[in-house]
Amino acid sequence: MSFQLDHAATLVALVDEGSFERTARSLHVTPSAVSQRIHAMEEAIGSVLVQRTTPVVPTQAGRVALRYARQLLLVSADATRALRLDGGRPAVEHGGGEDGEAASSAPLTIPIAVNGDSLATWFLGALAGARDRIDAVYDIRREDEELATRLLRRGEVMAAITTTAKPVQGCTSTALGMMRYRAVSSPDFCERWRRDPGDEPAGAASDTASGWPLRLPSPMVNFDRSDTLQQRYLDSVLHRRAHPPSHYVPAAQDFGDAIVLGLGWGLLPDQQADAWLRTGRLVELMPGSSVRVPLYWQRWKLPSDALEMLSETVVAHAAKSLLQSE
């Protein structure tokens, strides 16, 4: 593939923005110019790149082209930075206007898939630590850590925090450490739902022996319908399948607030739970019992100063923020 730089930037913007009109506004061109650039790329490749839906969806060929376009822009941004450090002044930068003049200098956009708990606790600190080293802005896609690898495969992100050690094709994988989760609830919720072994029916003897302190079915809080952490933990404690009612609260801070306010019990990472446990707003339901979720940093293998510096900062910050292997 041989893409013009402004065409590559247009494809990336179109997929990210989701429509020809928003893409035109972001690139300071007309929707007709966006359409012409995409059509020119499709003519050159001989394949349709995007489905003209709302939002725009890349085709299979479009996902291949999208990954290539992002890599092209990444290499271009690295070269631009190197020329500036050497005292040079690049003549043209990507994303120029319709009149052919160079666009004003804009930082590289790095899309990253990050799970909600990392985003709410430690990951933004890593980005802040890199702000003086990297001239970039970040397009963070909040995604379950078990599903983030699919965004890497589609070329929609350049890096991701995942629970998968095996690298996606074309990527490297680096262990970051582990997030430890503990089962917690508000004191009032725990008291209201506390199990009284004397009131248990004969068939519940195994539940009593498990040490789980709450009556069933005590409500639990899940992040969303793809969040199975609470369910898996409860099943492992009870040694059988349980079916408690669930609240769904799809924001990390609000998730913790829902537990503090007594809507249900749930698993919170140490970084979020510790302060509430110290002040007595939460109690630990199974002291000594926890779930440890290993996290990995997967990034494109493409040589890039920006990605390399970002990766170094993320790995270093994770080493201070996450549990490390003993």
Other CB atoms within a 10 A radius of the CB of residue 18 amount to 15
On whether the 180-292 domain is CATH 3.40.190.10, my answer is yes
Which CATH number is associated with domain 1-106? 1.10.10.10
Instruction: Give the span between the Cα atoms of 113 and 241, in whole angstroms.
Output: 32
Instruction: Give the span between the Cα atoms of 250 and 56, in whole angstroms.
Output: 25
DSSP state of 144: -
- 192-204 pLDDT tens trace: 999 886 655 555 5
Burial 304-316 (b: 16+ CB within 10 A, else e): bbbbeebbebbee
pLDDT tops 60 at residue 206: no
Tell me the residue type at 157.
V
- 75-101 pLDDT tens trace: 888 888 777 766 555 444 444 444 443
| Arithmetic mean of pLDDT over the chain | 87
Has this prediction a pTM greater than 0.85? Answer: no
DSSP state of 318: H
Which part of the chain is CATH 3.40.190.10? 180-292
- 3-19 pLDDT tens trace: 889 999 999 999 999 99
- 119-148 pLDDT tens trace: 999 999 999 988 888 888 999 999 888 788
pLDDT tops 60 at residue 47: yes
Q: Which residue has the tokens 């990050």?
A: 114
Which part of the chain is CATH 1.10.10.10? 1-106
Structure confidence at residue 80 (pLDDT): 80
Tokens (6 digits) for 183: 């089962």
